[in-house]
Amino acid sequence: MPTAEELLRGPRGRRLCLNYLSRIDEAVGSAVFWLGRELDPHPGTLFHISGGDADDAEEPTSSEAEVAAVIRQVDPASISQAVLHKAMCDTVDQAHYWQEPDAEDVVAALPDVRHSLAPVAERLLAAMPGVTATSAQAQWTVDWRVGPDRAPIEQDPAAVLRRWTNEQREDEETSARERPADPHANWSGSWWSVPQQLLETRADPLDALQLVEDALDREVATVIPVRGAGRIREIGSTDDWADLCREYPMEVTASRRHDWFRVTGRDGRWLIPDWERVAQDWDAVHLSTWGYLCSATMLIDVDGEHATVIAGWGPDSTLWLADVAREGNEPRQMWHRLDGGDVWVPAETTDS
């Protein structure tokens, strides 16, 4: 069974707990903000409204012990599913793989703060009974193009994987030749660890729209029902991901070195799965919500020489490696952002 301790080992798990508390208690959010500002090497500039003695006032400060104390004063006895969903959306949206951990991730990782988050971690786990769910047959994918295009879902994953493999090899060769070996060098490039062009599905249409890393500010989307079955590899932990990289290794040290050094602080050799080889044995790979919260944006050891990162892959997401998924019989759904904000609502339902 999932435990609070395991949830708090993962950067996304810690961030979910901290996001939730910051949303239900203003004092937590304020304390985290001011401590994060002190710890952030690039905090930016705060603009104050001039007038009276306010110009001479000092900015508030906060310490690790003070943040932990404020967190301990909050009693999250009854978990709000609406607030939990918003906290999850923030947690996914704030995952970065091309820069150092942001201020809130740094605060959440501090020993006293992490320890103080244990009670809310236990409450949140109890409120997420499906956190370890495996891939379901009924799924949804998102086409971010305008609905009238009626484009079919991807039906040639083998071709996608061939292109992806060639692109990765070319990128690695070019990066080894042209980029410096110093991980501190100001270089950036490929940072994701999964092919972005494969068919990707979720069990919940709203999750497919909202739980997206590095999301673009799109305003409309077509949500398409998908049915699929086959040999599905489950990723529910760091060990599961490390095993996949050991079984089907693809070295990406030169192309990922600089970005993943900034994320993890590790200087060494990097692996991701060779997805074209994975497809020889598996029809799909599913990353559970639990696997995401415990494993994404963190350093994962593969062996004594190599490590890896789960990057660019959202929670409860299935990547289809073989041509075994088909559009379902249910109608496609048109969704749009409400008033340009974070809320998505169905616009209309159309026949596929």
44-68 in b/e form (b: 16+ CB < 10 A) is: eeeeeeeeeeeeeeeeeebeeeebb
- Mean pLDDT of all residues in the chain? 90
What number is the average pLDDT over the span 80-85? 95
What number is the average pLDDT over the span 71-95? 93
Which has more pLDDT, 52 or 256?
Answer: 256
Q: What is the pLDDT of residues 207-264, one digit of tens each?
A: 999 998 877 777 888 899 999 889 999 999 999 999 999 999 999 999 999 999 999 9
CA distance 6 to 285: 22
What number is the average pLDDT over the span 6-32? 97
Q: What is the pLDDT of residues 315-332, one digit of tens each?
A: 999 999 999 999 998 898
Q: How far is CA 210 from CA 54, 99, 138, 148, 219, in A?
A: 40, 22, 18, 22, 12
What number is the average pLDDT over the span 339-350? 72
Confidence check: pLDDT of 349 > 70: no
Taking phi over 0 as left and psi of -120 to 50 as alpha, with beta for the rest, 256 belongs to alpha
Confidence check: pLDDT of 149 > 80: no
Confidence check: pLDDT of 43 > 70: no
> What local confidence, expressed as pLDDT, does residue 352 receive?
44
> What local confidence, expressed as pLDDT, does residue 339 receive?
75
**Half-sphere exposure of residue 235: CA atoms within 13 angstroms, side-chain side:** 29
What number is the average pLDDT over the span 273-287? 98
Per-residue pLDDT band for 147 (boundaries 50, 70, 90) equals low
> What local confidence, expressed as pLDDT, does residue 56 receive?
53
Which has more pLDDT, 31 or 48?
Answer: 31
Confidence check: pLDDT of 114 > 70: yes
Residue pair 26/32 in contact by the 8 Å Cβ criterion: no
What number is the average pLDDT over the span 168-197? 95
Confidence check: pLDDT of 201 > 90: yes
> What local confidence, expressed as pLDDT, does residue 50 receive?
46
What number is the average pLDDT over the span 86-115? 95
Per-residue tokens: 132: 């370890």
> What local confidence, expressed as pLDDT, does residue 235 receive?
97
> What local confidence, expressed as pLDDT, does residue 179 receive?
96
> What local confidence, expressed as pLDDT, does residue 219 receive?
82
Residue pair 251/270 in contact by the 8 Å Cβ criterion: yes
CA distance 298 to 266: 11
Q: Considering the entire predicted model, what is its pTM?
A: 0.92
